[in-house]
């Protein structure tokens, strides 16, 4: 059961004003959800912000119009002490800032620096390892799913959300709709997959998901991840790779082929080129050409 919070403030949406004395947590979250939807935030971001804010509200107990900076810092530090990643802590901070800025319309500065994110290099599979993984998959549709995810640099969510109408066999392109950040983009896929793609699409309608589950509808991301995990194990590859490593490998191999980093950025849909430049650290030929002094 949700607790009732003593809230005394004017809640302003894009269209309405609400004067609230008592409000249940679920009602407040519903209003925040409406505001996020009006501003066209992606479903994933909406769910993430609501989860973060629900936890934050339960922690502070009494919701005031002015943020308690000391309490927010204490809250985030406790998250850190529990082993939460820097990315997760930053997500909580973003959600809290959004709440006070956009819901309370409070411009009081929350001068808390974002947690330093990890600088770990992505796990990249070699071309030989990719081939070994793909060849270990007996199910033809599953093999195509993994092949396309690597060959087009797709996130797992993009793979399972891909529809027949989004595939252009003649131009060898995919139109990814409402991808991360709720943005559309075009990416490529290899000609060697064209025949298998055409065969899979032959008996499907344009609005159907390319990789449908046996019960109809799209596959879940977890199902696609399990397909990859089983293939990785069967191929006896010891790297700590995940489904997302297919995307990392796509980017790295393009750079190794001499593709300009700006084109790789566009294909991956990265907003900031610095995100794409991380892969240049993995594929730096100058470093690889240096010989160790140990003879």
Q: Which of 77, 65, 140 is nearest to 108 (CA)?
A: 65
| Better-predicted residue by pLDDT, 14 or 262 | 262
* Cα(160)–Cα(213) distance, integer angstroms: 10
Residue 119 has pLDDT above 80, yes or no: no
**What tokens appear for 289 in the block?**
């050409």
Is 253 annotated in the active site? no
Out of 79, 142, 155, 248, the active site residue is 155
* Cα(259)–Cα(166) distance, integer angstroms: 24
* Model pTM score: 0.68
Out of 142, 143, 247, 253, the active site residue is 247
> What pLDDT, on a 0 to 100 scale, did the predictor assign at position 225?
96
Domains belonging to the chain, first-starting first, are 4-103 (1.10.150.130), 127-286 (1.10.443.10)
* Cα(9)–Cα(137) distance, integer angstroms: 58
> What pLDDT, on a 0 to 100 scale, did the predictor assign at position 181?
63
Is 180 annotated in the active site? yes
pLDDT in tens, 188-229: 999 999 999 999 999 888 889 999 988 878 899 999 999 999
> What pLDDT, on a 0 to 100 scale, did the predictor assign at position 84?
86
Is 98 annotated in the active site? no
Is 49 annotated in the active site? no
Is 142 annotated in the active site? no
Q: Would you say 21 and 10 are in contact if contact means Cβ atoms under 8 Å apart?
A: no
Residue 16 has pLDDT above 50, yes or no: no
Q: Render 235-259 in DSSP notation, one character per residue.
A: TT--S---THHHHHHHHHHHHHTT-
Out of 49, 98, 150, 279, the active site residue is 279
* Cα(121)–Cα(278) distance, integer angstroms: 7
**For 231, phi and psi rounded to 5 degrees?**
-65, -40
Residue 15 has pLDDT above 50, yes or no: no
Is 185 annotated in the active site? no
Out of 180, 185, 194, 234, the active site residue is 180
Q: Would you say 32 and 13 are in contact if contact means Cβ atoms under 8 Å apart?
A: no
């Amino acid at each position: 059961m949700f607790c009732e919070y003593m809230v005394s403030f004017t809640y302003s949406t894009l269209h309405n004003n609400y004067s609230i004395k008592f409000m249940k947590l679920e009602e407040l979250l519903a209003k925040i959800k409406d505001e996020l939807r009006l501003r066209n935030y992606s479903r994933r971001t909406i769910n993430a912000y609501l989860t973060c804010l629900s936890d934050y509200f339960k922690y502070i107990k009494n919701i005031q119009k002015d943020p308690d900076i000391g309490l927010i810092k204490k809250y985030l530090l406790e998250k850190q002490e529990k082993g939460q990643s820097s990315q997760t802590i930053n997500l909580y901070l973003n959600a809290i800032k959004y709440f006070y800025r956009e819901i309370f319309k409070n411009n009081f500065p929350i001068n808390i620096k974002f947690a330093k994110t990890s600088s770990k290099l992505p796990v990249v599979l070699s071309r030989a390892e990719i081939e070994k993984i793909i060849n270990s998959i007996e199910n033809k549709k599953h093999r195509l799913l993994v092949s396309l995810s690597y060959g087009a640099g797709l996130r797992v969510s993009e793979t399972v959300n891909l529809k027949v109408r989004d595939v252009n066999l003649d131009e060898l392109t995919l139109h990814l709709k409402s991808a991360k950040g709720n943005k559309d983009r075009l990416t490529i896929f290899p000609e060697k997959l064209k025949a298998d793609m055409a065969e899979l699409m032959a008996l499907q309608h344009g609005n159907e998901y390319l990789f449908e589950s046996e019960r109809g509808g799209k596959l879940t991301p977890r199902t696609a991840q399990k397909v990859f995990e089983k293939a990785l194990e069967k191929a006896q590859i010891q790297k700590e790779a995940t489904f997302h490593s297919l995307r990392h490998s796509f980017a790295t191999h393009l750079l190794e082929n001499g593709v300009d980093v700006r084109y790789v950025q566009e294909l991956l849909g990265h907003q900031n080129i610095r995100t794409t430049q991380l892969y240049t650290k993995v594929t730096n030929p100058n470093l690889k050409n240096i010989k160790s002094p140990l003879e």
